[in-house]
Chains A and B, each alone.
Chain A
Amino acid sequence: MSGEIDVINSLFEQIDTDPHQLDDPETAHLIINANHVVGMQAVPGLKVDAKELADGVDIKLRLEPGTVVKKPVHLCFGMIPKTGVQRIIMDVDIGAGAKITLQAHCVFPTAIDVEHIMDARIKIGDGAEYSYFERHVHSPDGGIRVIPKASVTVGRDAYFKTEFELIKGRVGLIDIDYDTVCLAGGVVDMTARISGRGDDIIKIRESGHLKGERARGVLTSKIAVRDRARAEIYSKLIADAAYARGHVDCKEIVQDEGQANAVPIVEVRHPKAHITHEAAIGSVDNRQLETLMSRGLSEDDAVEIIINGLLSR
């Protein structure tokens, strides 16, 4: 038991979060280190099953229709060992009219050769709301490969929001592949904010299929690549129903020998649908840079502030 507490404390220390908040009986949580479930608590209406596998955990998360989980649910996927594979299989079913927010802390502070694979199937019922905030802490050496894949169905008038953010450490490899289908009146809102250095590689493939009338989608990626880091962003929105609305927004700052490409794909199959896209790739804006430097900041410090601003929430 004390070993589990030590692991939890160690993981939460990395994300500057007080682990004692898990003592709150109204705060549901699931803590996983490598392929071990080291802590789990549900709340009424929320059912969580976690089955340990040889190289990860198979999770089934069910939220009863109409259930509103008031406090954010904490998911902690950590890997204290320096090497290994963590495979997370997630099957999420959010009942009609239910609401839930998940804070996913993905913590790999000492990774030298770690692979974190997520394979998620998420079904959001009619009128339900599901928000997933994924914050990553990686090792300073970037010895990690993060490969999350999700297939999401957003029901009628339902809401799906996800944010992916690296808050500490090096990227290593991040290879995101999210595919969403949005029914009538549904909303999909996906955002990624990642800064790469060294030889980091950032790949994002995200798509939103606005199938129903009045469905709406926003795909946002804000990326910075410095040193020799590379980024490839493929953002696709398809609208094939009346009054479907969408926007793809991709901003990438390239410094040093970094390389970035962004491919926004918008496809409209109905005369009353409308999708826009905006992509800006390049170095730091000179006016921004000179404004900060004219206040006495060095060029490096000014670039850091500009990039941190771009990547901030």
Chain B
Amino acid sequence: MGVLEIKDLKLQLNNKTIINRLNIDFWEGHVHAVVGPNGAGKSSLAATIVGLSGYGSFEGDILFNGESIKKLPLDQRAKRGITLGWQEPARFEGLTVHDFLMAASKEKAEVNIRNALVMVGLTPDNYLNRAVDKTLSGGERKKVELASILVMEPKVALLDEPDSGIDIESINRIFDAVHILKDRGTTVILITHSLAVLNEAEHAFLMCNGELVDKGPVDKIRKYFEDRCMSCLHKNVPDTLSPGGQL
């Protein structure tokens, strides 16, 4: 039994099927990847799991430690330990990195906040008093957001395109943070279409057109993804194409 179980999930938005009868078990303490081309339904799956607005109405169920979280709002799911790192993190005018991290922090300890910044490759003294706004680059905001997840100490962290906007030199810092989360017992779910990110996982799920196409060890999924998905010319338009035959 997984720590997080997706049970026959069907999500429709604007009368289009975005996720179709999806069944996935995410194992506790593992680093998983959900991989697939753009439009496969990966980010929608993440949004549905954490409970973002607009993703609350779906068929099937989501179990966390065996209990349904389907009816729980976003903040209650987070209080149970499920969180999300956005592909494009929000900007907060005037809110300092310190206050942002302190708001997210489980222990509310200054030392944890400073340590988290170091873990993602940011010097605390240079960042704590800066605002989480447009004065930070996209990559810096991405790192600050990852630091906020580290201080939250979640049980399940979904990271949507964690390498997006990150420069080559910093990418290993992001991967280090992923493994720190794993070492702490967090189940990490990497939402990605990047082979570099996929390689950091232990187990992967391949999605296309809202359906699960394959699952297994990373080597197997990477080969499938490289051989068939990356060369695939079809555009993912959920509800109009058969996923299996198109890959």
CA of A216 to CA of B247, assembled, Å: 59
B75 contacts A296, C-beta separation under 8 Å: yes
Whether B75 pairs with A309 at a CB distance below 8 angstroms is no
Instruction: Known A286-B53, A305-B103, A309-B131; judge A293-B95 contact (CB<8 A).
Output: no
A288–B99 alpha-carbon span in the complex (Å): 14
8 A Cβ contacts from A273-312 to B = 285-288, 290-299, 301-302, 305-306, 308-312
Decide: B83 and A287 in contact? CB cutoff 8 A: no
- Verify B53–A290 contact, CB threshold 8 A: yes
Which segment, of B56-64, B85-93, B165-173, B220-228, faces chain A? B85-93
CA distance A286 to B148 in the complex (A): 18
* Residue of A288, A290, A297 with most chain B CB atoms under a 10 A cut-off: A290
Q: Which bucket holds chain A's interface residue count? A: 20 to 34
* Measured CA separation A309–B78 after assembly (Å): 22
State the CA gap A293–B78 with chains docked (Å).
7
Tell me the B residues contacting A by CB distance below 8 Å: 50, 52-53, 73-75, 78-79, 83-84, 86, 89-96, 99, 103-104, 131, 145, 148-149, 152
Q: Which of A241-291 contact B (CB under 8 A)?
A: 251, 285-288, 290-291
| Bound form: Cα–Cα A55–B90 in Å | 50
With a CB–CB cut-off of 8 A, which chain B residues contact A295?
Answer: 78, 83, 103-104, 148-149, 152
List the A side residues contacting B94 at CB < 8 Å. 222, 308-313
Q: Are A290 and B52 in contact (CB under 8 A)?
A: yes
A-chain residues with CB within 8 Å of residue B86 when the two chains form the complex: 287, 291
B131 touches A294 (CB 8 A): no
Contacts A305-B95, A309-B95, A309-B131: A298 and B75 contacting too (C-beta < 8 A)?
A: yes
| Residues from chain A with Cβ under 8 Å of B90 in the complex | 285, 287-288, 291
CB of A293 within 8 A of CB of B89, answer no
